[in-house]
Amino acid sequence: MVKEATEKAVPNPFVPYPATLKSVVDLTPDVKLFTLELDRAQDEFDYKPGQFAFVSAYGVGESPFGLTSVAYRREGLQFAVRRVGTVTNALHQLEPRAKTGVRGPFGNFFPLDDYKNKNIIIIGGGIGFAPLRSVITTILDNRDDYADILILNGARSPGDLCFASEFDDWAKSPRTKLELTVDAGDENWNGRVALIPDVLMELQPSSNNAIAIICGPPIMIKFTLTRLKQLGFADKQIVTTLEGKMKCGMGKCFRCNVGEKYVCRDGPVFTFEQISNFIEQF
């Protein structure tokens, strides 16, 4: 039977949504925050913290990025893009009003409803902090739903700390503690100069009624995981978001498999209980 023409079509996951670049903000010397607006109704593109999408540089290619914005604010789709390759270099050349494409959203998400009334430790390193911004925004916008919050953000240098303009607002939120650290300071830096795992041991967050969320370079995740276990966190209390060599976003190209999991389809959000048998492969 022929379907009614008025029935809403299911978007093709292989075809990008046409989008327009609304604004570009320099977060660090090599990271820009892109805000995109879809050229059609944005409610077709619903997403949650932890999900990702592919952004196109027309004529060059596409790359996957975690969404740093939150859907309910309707402020556009935001991605933090670090300049590291052909596609990201092309994206960094774009200016507001440029045309691009967004394909997604893909993957699972942080189950923030399950974390309600818990203490939450959010740990990010470098550009790995970007996908955690949507988690922080959602939690602080619904502050009464959660217990104590610790945000630990680390980078190579003070200039490499992403979203610095938002730090004051985060720190002012009730029962929220923001800790910053860098590998090497400068003449204007009065904060910590230490590695994230060492700062974590100094702070000694309790594992009681807690969830720890980590995102960053694999070496940081490895040593932070060790420290969290020393503090009494079980694998099911530790959550991370992985980055793989994703190409399709749907587990069809087999490029992002880690052990028995596909980062794009089964993740990118995992508890360490789910991936403990093969995390060393990542």
DSSP string, 110-135: --GGGGTTSEEEEEEEGGGGGGGHHH
d(CA 257, CA 282): 9
pTM of the model: 0.91
Q: 17-106 and 112-241: same fold? A: no
CATH superfamily of 17-106: Translation factors (2.40.30.10)
Greater confidence, 260 or 175?
Answer: 175
d(CA 119, CA 281): 30
The answer to whether 116 and 82 have CB atoms below 8 angstroms apart is no
pLDDT grade for 261, boundaries at 50, 70 and 90:
confident
Q: Quick check: 6 pLDDT over 90? A: no
The answer to whether 122 and 136 have CB atoms below 8 angstroms apart is yes
CATH number of 112-241: 3.40.50.80
Q: Tens of pLDDT along 152-201?
A: 999 999 999 999 999 999 999 999 999 999 999 998 999 999 999 999 99
The answer to whether 211 and 148 have CB atoms below 8 angstroms apart is no
Q: Quick check: 278 pLDDT over 80? A: no
**Lowest-confidence segment of 88-102, 188-202, 242-256 by average pLDDT:** 242-256
Q: Tens of pLDDT along 114-129?
A: 999 999 999 999 999 9
Domain ranges of the chain: 17-106, 112-241
Q: Quick check: 141 pLDDT over 60? A: yes
How many CB atoms neighbour CB 44 within 10 A?
A: 11
Q: Quick check: 45 pLDDT over 90? A: no
What pLDDT score was predicted for residue 8? 44
